[in-house]
Amino acid sequence: MRDLKRNRLPLLAGLALLAALFMNAAAAAGACREALRVCAGLLIPSLFPFFVLSGYLNQLGLPGLLGYLCAPAAARFFGVSGAGASAFLIGLLGGYPTGAAYIADMARSGAVSRAEAERLLAFCNNSGPAFIVGAVGVGVFGSVKLGLLLYAVHALAAFFTGLLFRGRRPCGEIQPLQLDTADPALALVTAVRQAVPAILQVCGFVLCFSVLLAVLDGGGMLTKLCALLAGRFGFDVRFVRAMLTGLFELGSGTAALQGLRAGPETLALAAFLVGWGGLSVCFQTLGVLAGSQIKGALHMTGRLLSAGIAALLAYMLGLLLF
């Protein structure tokens, strides 16, 4: 009975969403088909190879190698081991949630401690260049240059976020992995085996949140809320819609940005949404952390800090460009 009382609100919310799903079944089905198209056309081609490659490099001992090469700089800037510095690079290149998957692999193999892994999650799970330049730069602003500038802002915000977490308790010393102990063929098999469920989880959460937004929109709740906030704060309704949908799911928020006038505010919102990643990315991260004993609390804190810093930098940049 105590558990029932504790879960009463989530249960009522779930029943309300079930009723809304029945009432907006066609909209939900359309959103699901669109999300499947996005998964097949964008997410799987861009993320799955990075999942496999990052897992393969992890199995072969890349954290140990970079731990030896990057230890002084990693300790000075971020207060982490050199092995942790590799997560920062992988996260910026692979996109959500490749950085989190890489960190989880390092924690499972013993390359980093659980405490260090949780700290790394705060600033090493980031969006990749393919999405920022392609989907945001070209898709929203019609400019590769702006996409590259947004990616630079995104990387700089992640770096500053890492500095903000520098003051925490130093991580213990971790022995680097030996590069000559891994079997390359077995490493590839393990990497693919881990990458398949990881990419399925990512696509599953994209489908889930896309359908959720379609159900809310089909019932008119999202439209009414956007109109209310736009009228109260004097924003364009499309601007508010992009902000609200992006808080839930990055792809939907990015799509809602299309058609808005390019300016400092729009650039700042795009930087914020990319830096936050959406609740969908938070759940994707929890999915790839399963079995690693890593807690994801610092991840959400880091994402909000990084998004805020990126928005501020992008706004200042926009004042110079527009």
Residue-range definition of the domain harbouring residue 92? 26-168+178-321
Q: Is 52 contained in some domain?
A: yes
Q: Name every residue whose Cβ is closer than 8 Å to that of residue 186 and which is 6 or more positions away in sequence.
A: 59
What's the total number of domains in the chain?
A: 1
Interatomic CA distance for residues 177 and 179, integer angstroms: 6
Work out the mean pLDDT of the chain and round it to a whole number. 83
What backbone torsions phi and psi does residue 237 show, to the nearest 5 degrees?
Answer: -60, -40
Tell me the residue type at 39.
C
Dihedral sign computed on CA atoms, order 180, 184, 190, 195: positive
Q: Is 197 contained in some domain?
A: yes
Q: Is 74 contained in some domain?
A: yes
| Region 209-224 average pLDDT | 80
Question: How does pLDDT run across 5-22, given as a tens digit for each residue?
Answer: 667 777 777 777 777 777
Q: Is 106 contained in some domain?
A: yes
- Report the candidate in 120, 131, 124, 134 with the shortest Cα–Cα distance to residue 157: 124
At residue 176, the pLDDT reads 47
Most distant CA pair in the chain, distance? 63
Q: Is 18 contained in some domain?
A: no
Question: How does pLDDT run across 28-70, given as a tens digit for each residue?
Answer: 888 889 888 878 877 788 678 877 887 787 777 776 676 667 7
| Region 211-227 average pLDDT | 81
Q: Is 15 contained in some domain?
A: no
- Report the candidate in 157, 158, 122, 125 with the shortest Cα–Cα distance to residue 315: 157
Q: Is 233 contained in some domain?
A: yes
Q: Which residues of 240-267 are buried (b: 16+ CB within 10 A; e: fewer)?
A: bbbbbbbbbbbbbbbbbbeebebebbbb
